[in-house]
Amino acid sequence: MSINFPQAEEDVVRFWREVDAFQTQLKLTEGRQRFTFYDGPPFATGLPHYGHLLTSTIKDIIPRYWSMKGYHVVRRFGWDTHGLPIEYEIDKTLGVSGRDAVLKMGIEKYNAECRAIVMRYASEWRQTIERLGRWIDFDNDYKSMDVKFMESCWWVFKQLFDKDQVYRAYQIMPFSTALCTPLSHMESKQNEKTTQDPALLVAFPLKGRESSLIIYTTTPWTLPSNLLIACHPDFEYVEILDEASGKQYILLEGGLSMLYKDKKKAKYKILGKLKGKEMIGWKYEPLFRYFTDQFSDCFQVIGADYVEADEGTGLVHQAPAFGQEDYDAAVAAGFIHPKRLPPCPVDDKGLFTAEVTDYAGQHVKSADKAIVKDLKETGRLLLATQVSHVDKFCWRSDTQLIRKAVSSWFIRVTNSVPDMLSNLESTTWVPSFVKEKRFANWVANAHDWNIARNRYWGTPLPLWVSEDYEEVVCVGSIAELKELSGYTGTLDDIHRDKIDGITIPSRKGKGQLRRVDEVFDCWFESGSMPYASNHYPFENSEGFQGGNFPADFIAEGLDQTRGWFYTLSVLGNKLFGVSPFKAVIVNGLVLAEDGKKMSKSLKNYPDPKNVIDQYGSDALRLYLINSPVVRGEPLRFKESGVKEIIAKVLLPLWNSYRFFYEQTVLFKKTTGDDFVAQFPETTNVMDRWILADCQSMLQFIDQEMAGYRLYTVVPRLLQVIDNLTNWYIRFNRKRLKGAAGLEVRDTKAALNTLCQVLFTLVRALAPFTPFLTEHIYRLLRPYLGEALSEFSNTKSVHFLAFPTAQESLFDEVIQRKVSAMQKVIQLARTARERKTIPLKTPLLTIVVIADAQQLSDIEELQTYVKEELNVRDIVLTNDEECYGIHLEARVDWPILGKKLKRDAQVVRKALPSLTQEQLRQYLKEKRMSIEGIELEGSDLSIVRVVAKDNPNMVKDDGVQYEPAFSDDMIVLLDTASHPELIDDGIARDVMTRVQKMRKTAGLVPTDDVRMLYSVVSNPDDIQFETLVSSRKTQFENTVRGPLEPFSPTEEAAETVILQEEHTVSNLTLLLRLCRL
């Protein structure tokens, strides 16, 4: 009964389609309490990658879980269809750039091109998401380009406008010259990286003095727009004579290291010192003459407190149109004001305008070289180097941003920061550090939000203005636009090409009001998603708050702390005074195996489709969510990790079901009855343990899922699978096979228990591994009988309720006892492995040294210990000294040394003289005084060791103990070979080989065959026939029948299925399987 996981998953997908599984689940929970989930919309202009698959898995697990908990969880897929990503693709495809090119082409045609590509990969997304096992509604999805969505965005903006939360201002903004638009501060910080720029020292000769001011800049392209130089009024500057050139310069003394590579060898004299405030008002010679007529009162020194002493020369060149601090300083000094704006000779493409005649038409970054060359020729350039620094790049085009003065529309954010931080406190973030540090810091330092973009494919700003901007009308709906404008046509599309021509008559005698050119930042649209996706308030307004808002849960990647999480929060707090979500899971980045970003060009990651086709979605899902990435940390994706999930989790779970199935077939063969599960109480200790373990798991899952801690839930689920496969089934194989020599009632009890655990597991695992659990459940269903009577629809495991912990099955005492037994077995296995003694080799004795409670627990389960470890005798004792076990104090000296300093040497000398009683006391109290020096907690680590030259480890009677330690238990395993155990070892080895032959022959447990042997070679004269006959019952119970002798010279009376020669401890046997 083998399984191909990907193929089984494809079968499950077909089954879900047949029963319309997702919609059926929604109908089953209709009318129940809602659990609200918002899906952050992706762009459909690219194919889904591992980051999308990760977030989709998280977004599937949580809703599935709460659905199974009885909540109604609507899940609609969303698409981000507007904005820079789409326009940038079109600009590249059509080879257009800038406003003039688009207007020449026509906005209607341009937008039509954008509309044509936004859903380019929608079908691939749908196929991938379905194949991943995520249940979400694609048919009732939402798109930000839909007129209903856009109209709700207008409503959101109108609410803010009416509350005086929108204003127009002239500000210096991050600007993408590739996209010809300003960006918000939030967007500008989404792509920061190291780059190289020119680093110049430039001289500005003073008028009326022989000295020059020295400024430092990494943006030569801003020098043609220089108006002022800023100093700090309180700093002390030096005036020096450079002896090599005979020229005099003024700068901070700390800046001399920039002028001279080696200050000690530099030849200069300090002529005097002066405060910055003394220089305010000094005039200097302009570097360029482009703006000297218009700004003739400028070109002088001003004071500015933002000037820093540890950066540059302490003198900062001021180009007010290209730096916010420059602009603010110029305004404060009285040189710039709203009616006298600074020169801004750079267009939206980043090209110098005709005002800068020498560099007109050149991109500012390209012009850097020409400017440096010209400065050198005029003698004003003192030093030119390159500097590596972190700068901001366009998140879409990956081109370096500039800062540029723009008139734009802003939403006030700074006045909401206290409320946003206060409401943030009531939200749950996983991991919590993202909320407490990253997001809270981002909110605390928030700027007002520039929501306007000089673009075309987006929701138009619903602002109609007069030419002088003194009359501004904000429209909040299509109906309002028609009413104000008198427009009578249909408006089933409100993109720019459809509404830019609509005008509104002025109420102030200013003629016709025209719509402003800008469209919304697409982040405004995604932040409006809770309202716009429901066409609120035009539809679905009844019960919106408390039903659709706020969300109970959202999830996205770490990068969205400055993106979607932030814009949702701004608008939710502005509109309703609350956080728009209650809980959020923030995942880290999925990187390539080499730690680099996944790159198509580098081909440094496996194709997600191929991984799913080869290993299945369950394996990929489990690999992703059982990794550091769900704790907000990065994951280096390894295909081998996905493969490992199959070997360590999915196959063991499947094999548990397969074993159950095989034993039900065997049960029918031996009893004549079909097995149908009943779940009465059981008295068997292992039955009670595994059932209790399941209840503890369910209680833990409920607790942790309420806190959205997937990273703790998955390991606990996997622990139960391990307990089921490697402990319960392993220890109860004979009972389950009916070969333990007990009544049929015990076999049925064991099968009932295994069935109950499998039924619990497939429901508990269903949100995490939806395919395999569905596959196993459908196979398990015929055996469940009355257990399914409580459910209204039993076609799918996902239609069932999530299992609840049953108080009657909790048993902490049993769990404690089995835990002690497991510890003994694990320690003894470690001792065997160290001595390379296989489990099939019987050993004489195991000594367990522990406290009284653990010894009592182990005594009750010692039969399991002996059988599992293949030992004859077990000795239980708490007498450590009898076996030469001593306590020893160990110290992490680097850590303790930092704490104690000189006293550490005193402790070091005293440690060897500590008595066993003192060490035992420290173990209990975690406190000790050594020569007046107090030690506590982890200062000392007390460990148990075997005393050197311990006579108890190797005894005269041949005993050789191999120790294994845990914190509260010691195991001594006698690893010596004892003659009286040799026959037991041979018998066990032969049984193992017969079982392997049955497997090789493709036999199942219900296949009865004759098992025959013939001795081929027996140099040690082992009495094999006596060995077999004296263990007849053991052979029959283990290999389902007697092992009988045969003569190889006689012709076989039965059909031989398989015949093999085996050597066991110098004994060579011919083993034969024959049909009955």
Based on the residue annotation, tell me whether 269 is a catalytic residue of this protein.
Answer: no
Rounded to an integer, what distance in angstroms lies between the CA atom of residue 1068 and that of residue 1060?
Answer: 11
DSSP E strands: which ranges in 838-912? 843-849, 871-877, 885-890
600 is known as an active-site residue: yes
Nearest partner of 102 among 348, 346, 345, judged by Cα = 348
DSSP state of 394: -
Burial class (CB in 10 A: 0-12, 13-18, 19+), 749: buried
Look at residue 476 and give its three-state secondary structure.
coil
H/E stretch holding 816 reads: helix 812-834
Q: Return the structure tokens found at 653.
A: 């779970």
727: annotated active-site residue: no
Structure token pair of residue 852: 């009284």
Plot region of 262 (φ>0 → left; ψ -120 to 50 → alpha; else → beta): beta
Q: Exactly one of 39, 60, 80, 857 is catalytic; which is it?
A: 80
Single-letter code of the amino acid located at 90? I
Sequential DSSP letters for 418-459: HHHHHHHTTSEEESHHIIIIIIHHHHHTPPPEE-EES-SSSP
Burial of 4 (0-12, 13-18, 19+ CB in 10 A): exposed
* CA–CA separation, 961 and 883 (whole Å): 10
Which one of the listed residues 171, 560, 695, 822 is annotated catalytic? 560
**270: exposed, middle or buried (C-beta count within 10 Å: 0-12, 13-18, 19+)?**
exposed
User: Could you confirm whether 41 is annotated as catalytic?
Assistant: yes
Three-state SS string over 340-387 comes to ECCCCCECCCCEECCCCHHHCCCEHHHHHHHHHHHHHHHCCEEEEEEE
Number of helices (H) and strands (E) in the chain: give both, helices first.
40, 38
Query: One of 523, 654, 689, 727 is an active-site residue; which one?
Result: 523
CA neighbor of 1075 nearest in space, from 1019, 996, 983, 1010: 1010
The Cα diameter of the chain in Å comes to 126
On the CB side of 213, CA atoms within 13 Å amount to 29
Q: 449: which strand partners?
A: 411
Pairing of strands 236-242, 211-217: unpaired
Distance CA 132, CA 137 (A): 14
In this structure, the strands spanning 519-520 and 247-252 are unpaired
Between 685-706 and 812-834, two packed helices, what is the crossing angle to 10 degrees? 100
Pairing of strands 635-636, 590-591: parallel
From 41, 48, 220, 842, the catalytic residue: 41
Say how far apart CA 835 and CA 44 lie, in whole Å.
59
Contact 563, 185 (CB under 8 A): no
Backbone angles phi, psi at 464, to 5 degrees: -110, 130
Strands 166-176 and 969-974: unpaired
Whole-number Cα distances in Å, 585 to 68, 435, 625, 629, 967: 20, 10, 12, 11, 36
DSSP 933-999: EEEEGGGSEEEEEEPTT-TTTB-TTS-BEEEEEETTEEEEEE-S--GGGHHHHHHHHHHHHHHHHHH
**DSSP H or E stretch at residue 927:** strand 927-930
Q: How far from each other are the two terminal CA atoms of the chain, in whole angstroms?
A: 23
Told to judge if 457 belongs to the known catalytic residues of this protein, a careful annotator would answer no
**Do 815 and 687 contact (CB within 8 A), yes or no?**
no
Catalytic residues, by residue number, are 41, 80, 523, 560, 564, 597, 600
